[in-house]
Amino acid sequence: MNPLRDHRAVPEPPRTPLALHHGVPGFQPTALRPAPELAARWGVGEVWLKDETARLGLPSFKIVGALWAVHRLLCTRLRVSPERTSYAELRQRLAGSDLGLLTASAGNWGRAVASAARWLGLRATILVPEATAEPRIHAVRAEGAEVRVVSGNFDVSVARAAELAGERDLLVADASEHPDDPFPGWVSEGYETLFAEIDEKFAASAEGGGDAEPDLVVVPVGAGALAAAAARHYGRTDSGTLLGVEPHEAAGAMASVRAGHIVTVPALTPTPMAGLNCGTPSATAWPALRDGFDAFCAIGDARAEHGMRLLDRAGVAAGACAGSVAGAVDGLLRPDACAGEAASAEAERLGLHGGSSVVLLLTEGVTDPEHHAKAMAGGRLVGEELAGEELAGG
Ligand SMILES: Cc1ncc(COP(=O)(O)O)c(C=O)c1O
């Protein structure tokens, strides 16, 4: 559990950029799918899957943050109001410009930035760490971006992107070590749309006698832009629980919460949870993570793959970052022969009971088909198969 939790310190959520998002051709809210078989498995009332496996033609949620943040950046440069300038107007104003967007990304962020650049008629250069799976690189190239493979991990790519940025190649990073850097904060603002969509569904369900708010929201954490948005949306009261999930070898948020300040963990081990393989929480996200999250949990690849199989059973083909949240909750709540008592103690610690509603953020679809096939082939759907695996909490 997070000893630094202080709900009164969490800032209000921003106004949602829904209007801009709805002005983008083809933009649709993504589904919040009920998963009754998971609710039964975990002994809770309802499980809802926020399905970001296909958002605006891309297999992850990241386009929602990229669109709003790039829009704000360019409107600021052009000295026009981001709220009053539509996406189409911005594109017209940029016609003929030689501007480019530049970022470091293991895949989904880069693909989202490349996509936003393509729609705006701008160049995009995406730096990827050397361990990035080939299908992810291919997908970024398919958006028309130039991809440069950097030797080293994600943090090295981030540093390299900062060196290459300039007046014509605008750095658009969703994380920063400088707390006052506005761009990553704008990315988080963009993600507010996800939570506004969840609110709409819960409001509709409350009219029918269901819960008005989820009791537990489970968020995969990389550099923390999405988690910061979740913290601002859900973390301002002491009701409900926010749980962050990270890979064992890249549990930077959990280490930072334990230390009481931002720390870096090496994050040198490749993992199929590529989007979460980030050793340092973003300085712009850190205050919201520190104040707004109730708990963090670190998992191994096998547990994320187990989560992918659970999701597949629930009808969603998803990647390892999405599998991580299902796998983590299954590890905490599945009352099997080995973990019966521990599981109910965990449920209590998370504030859950038989009527609770749980929301899992499924942040990506099948971004690495080879790994997805391997995960689907990889085991039985019983809790015991992972009984020996350590689930670190903090
Ligand atoms: C699929 C997926 N889920 C979750 C995350 C984590 O997002 P953040 O870096 O904002 O914490 C990422 C980041 O790349 C991602 O690609």
For residue 270, the model assigns a pLDDT of 85
Q: pLDDT band for position 382 (50/70/90)?
A: very low
Query: How many residues in the chain?
Result: 394
Q: pLDDT band for position 51 (50/70/90)?
A: very high
Handedness of CA 376, 329, 314, 53 (dihedral sign): negative
For residue 207, the model assigns a pLDDT of 82
Residue 227 CA: which ligand 1 atom is closest? 11
Residues with CB under 6 Å of ligand 1 are: 60, 108-109, 174, 220-227, 275-276, 321, 363-364
Handedness of CA 272, 274, 278, 284 (dihedral sign): negative
Residue of 157, 194, 226 to test ligand 1 pocket, by largest number of atoms within 8 Å of CB: 226
Contact status, residue 271 vs residue 327, Cβ threshold 8 Å: no
Residue 5 Cα to chain centre, angstroms: 20
Tokens 């989904």 map to which residue? Answer: 108
Å from CA of 5 to ligand 1 middle:
22
Å from CA of 221 to ligand 1 middle:
6
Residue 364 CA: which ligand 1 atom is closest? 1
Å from CA of 96 to ligand 1 middle:
32
Å from CA of 391 to ligand 1 middle:
20
For residues 212-226, average pLDDT:
96
For residue 356, the model assigns a pLDDT of 94
Residue nearest to atom 7 of ligand 1 (CA): 222
User: Tens of pLDDT along 137-169?
Assistant: 999 999 999 999 999 887 788 889 989 999 999
Residue 319 CA: which ligand 1 atom is closest? 1
Residue nearest to atom 6 of ligand 1 (CA): 222
Residue 367 CA: which ligand 1 atom is closest? 1
Torsion angle in degrees (nearest 10) through CA of 42, 257, 363, 319: -80
DSSP annotation of 12 reads P
Q: What is the CA radius of gyration of the chain?
A: 20
For residue 390, the model assigns a pLDDT of 47
Å from CA of 351 to ligand 1 middle:
26
Q: Residue 363's closest CA among 321, 326, 329?
A: 321
Å from CA of 191 to ligand 1 middle:
11
Å from CA of 336 to ligand 1 middle:
30
Q: pLDDT band for position 383 (50/70/90)?
A: very low
Contact status, residue 241 vs residue 294, Cβ threshold 8 Å: yes
Question: 351: helix, coil or strand?
Answer: coil
Q: Measured at the alpha carbon of residue 275, what is the angle toward residues 151 and 247, in degrees to the nearest 5?
A: 100
Domains and CATH numbers, the chain: 7-60+182-393 (3.40.50.1100), 62-171 (3.40.50.1100)
Q: Residue 132's closest CA among 163, 164, 156, 113?
A: 156
Q: pLDDT band for position 387 (50/70/90)?
A: very low
Residue nearest to atom 14 of ligand 1 (CA): 275
Biggest CA pair distance of the chain: 65
Å from CA of 51 to ligand 1 middle:
14
Residue of 49, 51, 58, 60 to test ligand 1 pocket, by largest number of atoms within 8 Å of CB: 60
Residue 220 CA: which ligand 1 atom is closest? 4
Pairing of strands 295-299, 392-393: antiparallel
Å from CA of 218 to ligand 1 middle:
13
How far apart are alpha carbons 227 and 276 in whole angstroms?
11
Q: Measured at the alpha carbon of residue 262, what is the angle toward residues 226 and 345, in degrees to the nearest 5?
A: 70
Å from CA of 290 to ligand 1 middle:
18
Q: What percent of the chain has pLDDT over 70?
A: 93
Tokens 């493979």 map to which residue? Answer: 149
User: Tens of pLDDT along 313-355?
Assistant: 999 999 999 999 999 999 998 855 455 556 678 888 899 999 9
Residue 294 Rama label (left phi>0; alpha psi -120 to 50; beta): alpha
For residues 205-214, average pLDDT:
82
Å from CA of 222 to ligand 1 middle:
5
User: Tens of pLDDT along 60-111?
Assistant: 999 999 999 999 999 999 999 998 898 889 999 999 899 999 999 878 999 9
Residue nearest to atom 13 of ligand 1 (CA): 275
For residue 392, the model assigns a pLDDT of 59
Tokens 């793959």 map to which residue? Answer: 305
Give 63's Cβ-side CA count (13 Å radius): 29
Residue 226 CA: which ligand 1 atom is closest? 10
Q: Measured at the alpha carbon of residue 253, what is the angle toward residues 264 and 385, in degrees to the nearest 5?
A: 110
Residue of 183, 187, 276 to test ligand 1 pocket, by largest number of atoms within 8 Å of CB: 276
Backbone dihedral angles phi then psi of residue 365, each to the nearest 5 degrees: -90, -155
Q: Residue 2's closest CA among 340, 330, 246, 272?
A: 246
